Amino acid sequence: MKHLEELKNGAQTKNLAEAIDNYKIQLGKYHKILLLELKHDHESKSTSLLVSEKILRDHKNKLVSAKDDEAQPEASITEVLLSLRVNALQIPPEHRRNFVSQLIKIDIFNIESTKSCDFVMSLLNMDSHELKHAISALISVIVSTAEGIKYLTQADSKQPNKILIEKLIAILKD
């Protein structure tokens, strides 16, 4: 800055060409840093806007209320599950782990709060091919991480929950 101030005031300086080359290099480095920060901020904002915790909680509430309140809840539940799957597919692959963590954090299938897989099993036992497809698709997103596998198989902390796995295999065979 002192050097630039001297140039501004008309003072003669030595090695002006060398100073200009140094400024270009420093400005190039600064420009790259700014671009990386802007890219990082944009990615994190777009990801957080895409699947905020509020959106996921709203989906969970719709899922629970559709199952409990309606006489034939299959269509409503399928719609919620497909919406969650669409959200998962819209997220860049490098952010899917975060999406799965958010699903687990809100306990999308009430596994942690009840220490059982009763909720998800009741969904899988409904007589709707579309519902079984939608829940299987969401489960496949969740089990794409080790944290998701642990979440879905933790109902009994002494032994992994095999009932859910057996049910999914039976559905896949059908």
pLDDT of residue 93: 81
- pLDDT of residue 46 exceeding 60, the answer is no
Q: Are 116 and 31 in a shared domain?
A: no
- pLDDT of residue 108 exceeding 60, the answer is yes
C-alpha to C-alpha distances, 91 to 45, 85, 96, 133, 139, nearest whole angstrom: 12, 10, 6, 21, 16
Q: Are 66 and 46 in a shared domain?
A: no
- Examine residue 7 and state whether it is found in any structural domain, yes or no: no
Q: How many domains does the chain have?
A: 2
pTM over 0.85: no
